[in-house]
Amino acid sequence: MNNQSTQKNSVPANAQTFIPGTFRPDKRVRLRRQRKWPWIAALVCVLAVVGVIALNSANEQKIENINNETLAPYANVYLPNITLDGLTLSGMTRQEAEDAVMNQISARQGGWSLALTSNGHTFTTLDYALMGITTDTSQVRSLLDTAYSYGHTGTVEERLQAVEQLTEKPLHLYSSQSDMTDANLNSILSQIAAYFRQAPKDAYLAGFDPDQSDPFIIAPETNGAELDVESAREEIMRRASAGESGSYELTPDPIPANITAADVRKQVTLLATGTTKIATTSPEGRNSNIALAMEKINGKTLNPGETFSFNSVVGKRTEENGFVEAIEYVYGVEKPGIGGGVCQVSTTVYLAAVRANMDIQQRSPHSMRVSYTDLGQDATVSSGRLDLSFKNSSGGRIYITAHVENQPKTTKRWQCTVNIYGPAMADGERYELRSEVDDVLLPGDPILLKDTEGQYVEYEDEMFQYQTGREGYVITTYLDRYLDGQVVSSRKLSTDTYKAISDGYYVGVTPRDEFYY
């Protein structure tokens, strides 16, 4: 109680006690003064905001006007720095751009052509359509729409941004073409290849005419042809890709024949020749027999390993076979006989056969020296008794020609010539006969024959010489093999004895009467 009394007593004397619900004049006046300033501040703020908005609106309008002026030139055309397939679209309307691009595609499609030719003939002319190249026009229009969307869609800011973007990074669009295909090209080239395709034909021996200077008729080879389709295809595709127009000459590759005329010629080369001269004193009958025997041999052919027999080819020397009587050697004595002179033919054949390196099976020398060849290099024959034979050891077919012909540089003297043709020897290879005298045989005492018929002499003191004595010889003959002009080997062929011949005389048989004066 005392405390409460103390507090109450401490209130100043002029203080007014506030009673809730009662009016306090001093406080009211103070409150009114405080509420006036916030309204003013609010008004100022409103005015400021209105001013800012008005200023911003004016600036935005100004900016919009500037932006519209920037975009105005491109209202209906493509923006700068836009291309399609390398064609600049800037400044074109949508329709102009489509027309230009489509025209370019059309020109591109027909802008390449390549004529496939050969020797003035044109097989076909290729273009991109044949090569399978086409352009999708719907895709082209889609690309044109995409390019046109730059600067023509979105807000002004977005459109302006597109202009700036294209300035920094131009837009290059490309339409896609169907890939070039070689399907049509392969079909075309296959047909052309069939036109060029030709199988080669080998050369061959078409005929043998022993009476011609060149007795062989050789059908020449024919090369084949084949177009290299793969190489042609690659070159055409390269030109199409590079757009190189013009013409392309198709040249087939030759296919060589397996056997050429030169190969055939190597099988019928002249291996060797045998030659013997016919004496100008040779009688007509003898010459007739020689010509007949040569005719029978002329044109004879032998297969590999086959044997030539003179007696079989020429036949028996009889009148029925066309031979006539002429002088021949019979046991060292010259006597008339049917077929005289044929031994010169057999000798000529022997010379050719041995020089052609044939395998000599039978050969006999004359009993005495003959005038038409060297010692050791003759070959006598006799029907049914002595033959000349040799085997074809050449490895191929051989061909024989035999003629009586003029000796070189004269038309008055004749000779026997036998040629043997067959597979070529090695380069520079040839064979020659070489004879050496081992011994000389002297003639014996003269031979005296009584002429009992008085054909040459009549009296005993008369003599007629019917033969002149000759020396005899022992001869060894060799076959020398030459290579490039040098003897590289020798082979002994024979040792022959040619008998010596004594002088021969006929003497008379009638005594002569003696007269004394």
387 closest CA partner among 411, 364, 360: 364
pLDDT of residue 438: 97
CA angle 339, 342, 348 (to 5 degrees): 175
CA distance 434 to 431: 10
> Percent of the chain having pLDDT more than 90?
66
pLDDT of residue 162: 87
394 closest CA partner among 483, 465, 303: 303
User: Contact at 8 Å (CB) between 132 and 181?
Assistant: yes
- Domain assignments of the chain as residue spans, ordered by start: 41-65, 82-173, 196-261, 268-424, 426-517
Q: What are the tens digits of pLDDT across the range 277-311?
A: 999 999 999 999 999 999 999 999 999 999 999 99
Of residues 157 and 450, more confidence is placed in: 450
Q: What are the tens digits of pLDDT across the range 155-183?
A: 888 888 888 899 999 999 987 766 667 78
Residue-wise DSSP of 355-415: HTT-EEEE----SS--TTS-TT-----BTTTB--EEE--SSS-EEEEEEEEEPTT-SS-EE
pLDDT of residue 58: 59
CA distance 155 to 166: 17
pLDDT of residue 66: 64
Burial class (CB within 10 angstroms; exposed 0-12, middle 13-18, buried 19+) of 332: middle
473 closest CA partner among 493, 450, 495: 495
Confidence band of 315 (pLDDT split at 50, 70, 90)? very high
Burial class (CB within 10 angstroms; exposed 0-12, middle 13-18, buried 19+) of 290: buried
User: Contact at 8 Å (CB) between 225 and 194?
Assistant: no
Of residues 10 and 306, more confidence is placed in: 306
CATH class of 426-517: mainly beta
| Cross-strand bridge partners of residue 255 | 224
Confidence band of 364 (pLDDT split at 50, 70, 90)? very high
What average pLDDT score do residues 11-19 get?
A: 43
> Percent of the chain having pLDDT more than 70?
85
The total number of residues shown for the chain amounts to: 517
Q: What are the tens digits of pLDDT across the range 52-110?
A: 666 666 566 666 666 677 788 888 899 999 999 889 999 999 999 999 988 888 777 77
CA angle 290, 294, 298 (to 5 degrees): 175
Beta carbons within 8 Å of 403's beta carbon, 6+ residues apart: 211, 294, 298, 416, 417
User: Contact at 8 Å (CB) between 233 and 222?
Assistant: no
Is the confidence at residue 268, as pLDDT, over 60?
yes
Beta-sheet pairing, 398-406 with 301-302: antiparallel
| DSSP-based three-state secondary structure for 510 | strand
